[in-house]
Structure 1
Amino acid sequence: MEKVNTVVVGAGQAGLSMSEHLSKADISHVVLEKGRVAENWRSQRWDSLRANGPAWHDRLPTMPIADIEQDVFTPKEKLVDYLAAVAEKIAAPVRTGVTVLSVKKLPRKQGFLVSTTAGDYEAINVIAATGPFQVPVTPEIVPKTAGVVQMHSVAYKNPSQLPEGAVLVVGAGASGGQIAEELVDAGRKVYLSLGRHIRPPRYYRDREGAYWTGVLGRWDTVNRDKNVQNIALAISGVHTKMPIDYRLLASKGATLVGRTAGYGDGKLTFADDLPGNIREGNQSYLNTLDLIDKYIEYNGLDLPEYPDARNLLPATEYEKNPIREVDLADAGITSIIWASGFRRDYSWLELDIFDEDGNPIHESGVSKEPGIYFLGLPFQTRRRSSFLFGVWYDAKYISDYIAMIQAYHDKYST
């Protein structure tokens, strides 16, 4: 059995950030990855995906993305290359193709038994760096016998993958909005089912949206609810200066409906919440513009005004007279893409460290079981915790915490 101080599970941005800090602290560790480095970016994203922020922002703090203009929104393939380059630069001890089967407390001994498909490890610490996007959630609304192709957004690659016919996209966040727009631009008939969402400005008063979120301190927003999920964020890296606007998408041909509520006799039913959801999304956009304007005035910044930014498109017919039911056959819908999020899966952690809903009990990633840590959770310490550019800071906290505890043990070790 191989002995190591720390086992890190996952070799995405969270695991690599963790490895960098552990190496700097001279803490022996391995990073176990069931696929390849950045596997989710490789195999669970669509072809045209770009980062939702510019290259100067959406990266790890200690390494810029090479061979790309820093104001460009990085394509998926480039992000994969970047994370692989990070792993090489920091000499991360990554072991790919290794699935962690279980983690159990060693009886009457400090540490844990980590069982994997490549053998067992004995570790003082285990860090679950598997992030927030673990198991795709597909609501059990439309039965497989309905005669339509159904897939989660992780399986979607491009429009040519889908059979001829109309497509229902379910989800108001970045994935749902971007996929729906791509399908509309490809000439497909699209129904887009929208739930609650917020939509930030993409570019305002000569500054990128990520900049404004940063200087306004919104990346550092703290939420004390340890099980909080990020509300659907309608944002895209495809258009560097234009926010996602579902009314604009409707003007291009998309049919907007409310939250998908049920199915029966070949018909989908939708909630009557579409007007409220779009109104809430638009209000969040306007509220952010207000905050930016106040910041500029308060600090005396000389930045041009953007009066047209507040000119919202008029309400669509779908908001005035919401569609509550669609017959799949009559509408020609042959595909459904569920951009419906993910759930966490820590079944391999065989420890009493979860609440009744299966969510980890922790403080800033430190579990109630000494030696077990979590990294990359939504709002783990603040809003930025689950994002590419933000997880690095939480990783440093955990590394410092592990080093501190180890110093106590070393004081009286023989």
Structure 2
Amino acid sequence: MPSEQTEVVVVGAGQAGVAMSEHLGAAGVAHVVLERDRIAERWRSQRWDSLVANGPAWHDRFPGLEFSGVAPDAFASKDQIADYFAAYAEKIDAPIRCGVEVTSVRKNAGRPGFRVGTSEGVIDARFVVAATGPFQRPVIPPIVPDSAVTEQIHSSGYRNPEQLPQGAVLVVGAGSSGVQIADELRRSGRRVFLSVGPHDRPPREYRGRDFCWWLGVLGRWDAETPPEGAAHVTIAVSGARGGHTVDFRALVGTGVELVGMTASYERGALRFEPDLAANIELGDQKYLELLRAADEYVERNGLDLPAEPEAHELGPLPACATDPLRELDLAEAGVTSIVWATGFAADYSWLQVDAFDEGGRPQHRRGVSAEPGVYFLGLPWLSRRGSSFIWGVWHDARYVADHIATRRAYLAYDKAEAGSAGN
């Protein structure tokens, strides 16, 4: 027999779990949030030392609390973000239990709800919210054998340049993580190669407004589905050193050596796709398109925002793009480390319900899964483009909480009681 009962079990106490708790609490729904580590643990222990938020503090927060000690237009450090969520959880008196790992979730046989197995016993819950987010299992493509270099790590395991053995470094992946790590390594004096794939490259700031503001006023955070082929395209933007636009031409100017997508390895050499120029130009197109949309918005609404014609001037492609390096002998180039900024895969092995497609991907609509009573929260494009940002998950959580409250009302309906109340 279950040792405990509650209406909702929320799995994970990162930004998604804390947001979920706030909305469930406001709706008067009994719940518990289970976290195997600490609140916002991934921000504390699975990020590099110098990481800051990619959005300014006025934007990347929940509505009910501002960042302490961070100016509105500044970028909070990873530890400030973790502290923020811990403070927010305390503010809303969230029923979070740290150090409790969820090991299994199974549908109850012949009755509503789910049996939630944990490291501290069993909980019987009517609803389960998987708020573990998308960053669960680091992905390192099986391209380079371990023996090829001294060190291969995922970006989630990278902390600082001193962590890596002496020598050159190859960084694979040109999203925010890969670009910032490559830049930091180059500034530390390392020789750095950066493998660049398809990416979105927005301006950090344009005409006095952050790109987060522009996407808001242009309605682009509300896009419900990604453009065709862009569901997993990374965004290259940086809050480091006060925030700046990622410019691959400027990176080349600092000494970073760009190559195309990493393709294969054979006899000590890495081979790259001949797509570097195409990838940079695609990012340029998206960058310039956003500038044009912003200019049209300013003109249409008569805003007094200073023009920046120089922002439209990109200059020629660097020689490494027009005559790309196709093969790199790692030993000859002195490469002793590879940092794989290649994203994450989901791990829902603990969630043993009928809520996934044949590829193991969650089946849901705005977080409401194909298994009644199970919900997902914190996933990219859960409801719209903004879902992957801190403020976006807060709004997604409100929708999920409303859905749970509505379903509870249906399940609580008793015809006999309703009839007697009407007499």
What is the CA-CA distance between 1:310 and the residue it aligns to?
A: 1.2
> C-alpha distance in 2, partners of 1:78/1:296?
34
CA 1:308–1:97 in 2, change beyond 3 Å: closer, same or farther?
same
> C-alpha distance in 2, partners of 1:101/1:227?
35
Equivalent residue number for residue 123 of structure 1: 125
> C-alpha distance in 1, partners of 2:226/2:217?
22
Equivalent residue number for residue 420 of structure 2: none
Q: Secondary structure at the match of 1:77?
A: helix
Q: 1:40 aligns with which of 36, 39, 42?
A: 42
Instruction: In structure 1, give the amino acid aligned to 2:44.
Output: R
What TM-score do the two structures reach when normalised by structure 2?
0.96
Instruction: In structure 2, give the amino acid aligned to 1:189.
Output: R
What is the CA-CA distance between 1:144 and the residue it aligns to?
A: 1.0
Instruction: In structure 2, give the amino acid aligned to 1:344.
Output: A
Percent of aligned positions that are identical: 54
What is the CA-CA distance between 1:148 and the residue it aligns to?
A: 2.6
Equivalent residue number for residue 335 of structure 2: 333
What TM-score do the two structures reach when normalised by structure 1?
0.98
> C-alpha distance in 2, partners of 1:146/1:273?
24
> C-alpha distance in 2, partners of 1:258/1:125?
46
User: Which string of whole-angstrom CA distances, capped at 9 and with x for unpartnered residues, describes residues 300-338 of structure 1?
Assistant: 111111111112132111111110000000000000000
Between stretches 231-240 and 340-349, larger displacement belongs to 231-240
Q: Secondary structure at the match of 1:47?
A: coil
In structure 2, stretches of 5+ residues that fail to align are 418-423
Q: 1:321 aligns with which of 320, 323, 339?
A: 323
Quick check: 2:75–2:243 contact (8 Å CA) kept in 1?
A: no
Q: Secondary structure at the match of 1:101?
A: strand
Equivalent residue number for residue 27 of structure 2: 25
Instruction: In structure 2, give the amino acid aligned to 1:141.
Output: I
Quick check: 2:149–2:338 contact (8 Å CA) kept in 1?
A: no
Quick check: 1:198–1:232 contact (8 Å CA) kept in 2?
A: yes
> C-alpha distance in 2, partners of 1:25/1:12?
20
Q: 2:382 aligns with which of 380, 383, 395?
A: 380
Equivalent residue number for residue 406 of structure 1: 408
What is the CA-CA distance between 1:206 and the residue it aligns to?
A: 1.2
What is the CA-CA distance between 1:230 and the residue it aligns to?
A: 3.9
In the comparison of the two structures, how many residue pairs are matched?
414
Equivalent residue number for residue 133 of structure 1: 135
Between stretches 343-352 and 20-29, larger displacement belongs to 343-352
> C-alpha distance in 1, partners of 2:53/2:301?
30
Equivalent residue number for residue 345 of structure 1: 347
Quick check: 2:149–2:337 contact (8 Å CA) kept in 1?
A: no
> C-alpha distance in 2, partners of 1:273/1:29?
50
> C-alpha distance in 2, partners of 1:306/1:37?
42
Q: 2:89 aligns with which of 79, 87, 90?
A: 87
Quick check: 1:202–1:240 contact (8 Å CA) kept in 2?
A: no
Equivalent residue runs for 1:7-406 within 5 Å: 7-223=9-225, 229-240=231-242, 242-406=244-408
Calculate the aligned-residue CA RMSD, in Å: 1.5
> C-alpha distance in 2, partners of 1:395/1:313?
44
Q: Secondary structure at the match of 2:122?
A: strand
What is the CA-CA distance between 1:226 and the residue it aligns to?
A: 12
> C-alpha distance in 2, partners of 1:274/1:155?
26
What is the CA-CA distance between 1:240 and the residue it aligns to?
A: 3.9
User: Which string of whole-angstrom CA distances, capped at 9 and with x for unpartnered residues, describes residues 361-395 of structure 1?
Assistant: 11111111111000011111100112111101110
